Amino acid sequence: MTARFGGGGHQLSCSRSGSARPGNAALRGAWRVSKSRRMRADRSQSGGAVAGYPSPRARSAPSLCHLFLINRRIIAGGKRSFIVHSKTAGCLSVMTAEKSGPVINGKPEDGRDPEGSSSSLDNGQYNERGQWNNKIEFVLSVAGEIIGLGNVWRFPYLCYKNGGGAFFVPYVIFFICCGIPVFFLETALGQFTTEGGITCWRKVCPLFEGIGYATQVIEAHLNVYYIVILSWAIFYLFNCFTTELPWAGCGHYWNTENCIDYYGENATNITNPNATSPVIEFWERRVLKISDGIEHMGGMRWELAMCLALAWFICYFCIWKGPKSTGKVVYVTATFPYFMLLILLIRGVTLPGAYDGIKFYLYPDISRLSDPQVWVDAGTQIFFSYAICLGCLTALGSYNSYNNNCYRDCIMLCCLNSGTSFVAGFAIFSVLGFMAYEQNVPIEAVAESGPGLAFIAYPKAVTMMPLSPLWACLFFMMLIFLGLDSQFVCVESLVTAVVDMYPETFRRGYRRELLILGMSIVSFLIGLIMCMEGGMYVFQLFDAYAASGMCLLFVAIFESICIGWVYGSDRFYLNIEDMIGYKPVFFIKWCWMILTPGICAGIFLFFLIKYKPLKYNNVYTYPDWGYGIGWFMAMSSMVCIPLGIIWMIWKTPGTFSERMKKLTTPSPDLKMRGKLGALSPYAANDAKADGKISTISEKETHF
């Protein structure tokens, strides 16, 4: 049975045959005094009943307390402290008073994390926070978030633009020095704190709580405009269910007299300087009905608005029950794109001209490595494709069990993400090589990036294939699934951040579901602006400023500084060791402290120095107020960090040094709950990095 020292806070649990009292005479005296005082206090509060103590039968049960080497000493100020040597750690367990059930190695007997599996609030009044049912749900959710449209339409284009195979040199360097370290940092932080994207930073270092707000502002911007791409893909998908693709030829009501079908003709023989292809006219005149500029927003494209509403409808029901629904949906949304990509890859490499396209994709041009822009493109691609500095990884990691091996998961997921980007390049450039072969033009003339690749180049290529509606349908279904799980995971992480900030409000009844519904409706209404005839210009502003690489780099700098220097990389390594049972490679610690913030700062400065105003299609120049809107969206996230620091210092009482000490001290309820936490749960706050000796103070043991 148990001898319990302390009632309202934490309990020191031990067992032996015989008395339940400590073996050391001095310690027994302290135990009796403490017990007597608290029994009187409990009687006065409960009308005679003694709360928090075992029955007489339980108190006479066996105990092993005499085996502990606990030395009592008196320190300055009369405060008692007990030094527990590490060789007794295997016999000691520390439980939270409000939890019930036996504890083994800092975990409940069933192996699940007590703080992750249910709310720390009163379960009779509040809903559970939720947790992944198994590791597969977590892995698929993260894979669905990070493997998105950028893997298909951005990475292959950057490869060919920046020297083909030579681009892999800076890409791998940034992958090792920035991608994996920050990816692992955010995931492990969420798993350790069991908090969303804002409250996790509040717990580890209140001074840098603004990091959390910055990530959620970027995420809110993403939620508004990223799903618009899905509405375009849904519109194209509906137009694939026909015997002839509508963008395959001219003669439709949206075509002009300049429309010329390039298929089967040599593009160099076209003499009309204003000639356009049917696929471009379908995109600009049928789908977008694009206006002359952002000054002329025009009317609403109601077909796109309905597609956007359908996308939000699907997104809502994917996440409305939290991890319970998300964990089931990702079995389809995260795996289906791989089947589609495999089918398109096999089809692409069997087309004539595919070899030339793949050669163009991979052939290295070493001279391009001397161009700083190549290195900047590699760094920004890492941040774009790994969903770091958005709070998504923190939210997904917070639903893990405490002892999940997040280190191994992160390494595997990072390799999977980059591998998918590499393979997607074969699928895309084999088709582009085929298109160049059919038109007898250089591949440079058909290679595009972003929406141009997804909605112009590739749709044009499939019109040249047999059974073109089938291949177009498969391609746009792949785009929809790639974008869908990235979208609903972003919304889920934003909801998680808000719910964790106000659990008393949103963990009641169906309030969480109503919060998701409210966010979806607001984001949908704002997104309607991008369904207007001038909406494409607004979309480009969001893409270039609101969620730009510059914002992500700025956040990454402060994340690395906060964990590497303020909270302490040694302390965080100890927390990770408590969760997974061993420390990660030492190199990641150096990345957090030196390499990652240094590299990110360098690229950020390069962004500012080489800044060029946005131009749509490299032709249309935005008005000054348009650029002002773009910079306002960019600054809305970055300004959260310095303003948050100033606000926290201003509102904290005391001298400046006292304020800084309070604001850089982790939350007192941030505890380690694994094997090292069994020695001292507060080691997250005050344990030494070597983990050999931990101090349990009088306050912690309630003596």
The helix/strand count (H/E) of the chain reads as: 34, 9
Give me the helix-helix angle, 372-385 and 596-609, nearest 10°. Answer: 120
Residues with Cβ within 8 Å of residue 43, at least 6 apart in sequence: 49, 50
Tokens of 47: 């009308």
Tell me whether residue 370 is annotated as binding. no
In the chain, the amino acid numbered 347 is R
Tokens of 580: 């997974």
Burial of residue 429 (number of CB atoms within 10 Å: 0-12, 13-18, 19+): buried
SS3 for 380?
helix
Tell me whether residue 86 is annotated as binding. no
Nearest to residue 94, comparing CAs of 578, 687, 679, 686? Answer: 679
Tell me whether residue 486 is annotated as binding. yes
Burial of residue 287 (number of CB atoms within 10 Å: 0-12, 13-18, 19+): buried
Residues with Cβ within 8 Å of residue 208, at least 6 apart in sequence: 201, 558, 562, 566, 641, 644, 645
Tell me whether residue 148 is annotated as binding. no
Tokens of 478: 């792949």
Cβ 485 vs Cβ 144: under 8 Å: yes
Tell me whether residue 151 is annotated as binding. yes
Cβ 115 vs Cβ 194: under 8 Å: yes
Nearest to residue 672, comparing CAs of 584, 581, 566, 579? Answer: 579
Tokens of 91: 């016999």
Tokens of 666: 């982790």
d(CA 577, CA 582): 5
Tokens of 618: 């490299």
Cβ 330 vs Cβ 141: under 8 Å: yes
Tell me whether residue 272 is annotated as binding. no
Look up tokens 């979806």; give the residue.
520
Tell me whether residue 482 is annotated as binding. yes
Which residues are bridge partners to 259 per DSSP?
276
Cβ 67 vs Cβ 91: under 8 Å: yes
Q: Using alpha carbons only, what angle is made at residue 559 by residues 370 and 450, rounded to the nearest 5 degrees? A: 50
CB atoms within 10 A of CB 496: 30
SS3 for 204?
helix
Give me the helix-helix angle, 468-501 and 209-238, nearest 10°. Answer: 150
SS3 for 93?
strand
Q: E strands within 556-625? A: 615-616, 620-621
Q: E strands within 77-182? A: 80-85, 93-96, 103-104, 107-108
Q: Please report, in range form, the residues annotated as the binding site.
A: 144, 151, 385, 417, 482, 485-486
Q: Which residue ranges make up the annotated binding site for Na(+)?
A: 144, 151, 385, 417, 482, 485-486
